[in-house]
Amino acid sequence: MIYNEKSKNFLKRIPPLKAMTAKIVERTRHRGLKDRLFYFRLPIRVKLSIAITFIIWLTVLISSLVILARQREQLYLQTVKMGKASLNYFANNANIPLLNDDILRLNRLIKEASSIEGIRYAIIVDRQQVIKAHTDHSRIGTTLQKAANVEEMKKDENVTYFNWTLPSGTHVLNLSRPVTFQDKELGTVHVGISLDFIKNLIHKETVSILVMSLFIVLLGISIAILLGVSFSRPISKLVLATKEIGKGNFQYRINMIRKDEFGDLATAFNYMAEELWKKLLIQKSFGQYVSPDVLEMILSQPEESWLKGTRSEASILFTDIRGFTAYSETRDPEKVVEALNEYFGIATQFILEQGGYVDKFIGDAVLAVFGVPIPRADHAQRALKAAIAMQRAFQQEAGKNENPFLSRIGIALNSGEVVSGNLGSQVKMEYTIIGDSVNLASRLNDMAGPGEIILSKSIYELTKDMVSVKALPPQKIKGKSEPVEAFQVIEIKEGA
Task: Answer whether 0.75 is exceeded by the pTM.
Answer: no
For 171, residues 6+ apart whose C-beta sits below 8 A from its C-beta are: 163, 164, 165, 194, 195, 196, 199
Give, to the nearest 10 degrees, the angle between helix 196-246 and helix 261-281.
10
* Confidence category of residue 313, pLDDT binned at 50, 70, 90: very high
| 148-158: b (≥16 Cβ within 10 Å) or e | eeeeeeeeeee
Query: Which pLDDT does position 496 carry in this prediction?
Result: 67
Instruction: Give the model confidence (pLDDT) of 373-430 as tens digits.
Output: 888 899 999 999 999 999 999 999 988 877 888 999 999 999 999 998 878 777 777 7
* Cα–Cα nearest to 314, from 250, 380, 255: 380
The Cα–Cα gap between 147 and 137 comes to 19
Residue 158 has pLDDT above 50, yes or no: yes
Domains and CATH numbers, the chain: 56-200 (3.30.450.20), 298-492 (3.30.70.1230)
Which residues are bridge partners to 171 per DSSP? 165
What 3-state class would DSSP assign to 208?
helix
The Cα–Cα gap between 359 and 251 comes to 27
Query: 251 vs 137, 255, 271, 429, 496, CA distance in Å?
Result: 99, 13, 11, 22, 44
3-state secondary structure 226-281: HHHHHHHHHHHHHHHHHHHHHCCCCCCCCCCCCCCHHHHHHHHHHHHHHHHHHHHH
Instruction: Give the model confidence (pLDDT) of 216-264 as tens digits.
Output: 778 777 777 777 777 777 878 888 888 888 888 888 888 877 777 778 8
* Contact of 459 with 414, CB cutoff 8 Å: yes
Query: Which pLDDT does position 162 carry in this prediction?
Result: 87
Identify which has the larger pLDDT, 358 or 150.
Answer: 358
Mean predicted lDDT score pLDDT of the chain:
81
Instruction: Give the model confidence (pLDDT) of 54-102 as tens digits.
Output: 887 788 778 888 888 887 788 778 878 888 888 888 888 888 888 888 8
Residue 302 has pLDDT above 80, yes or no: no
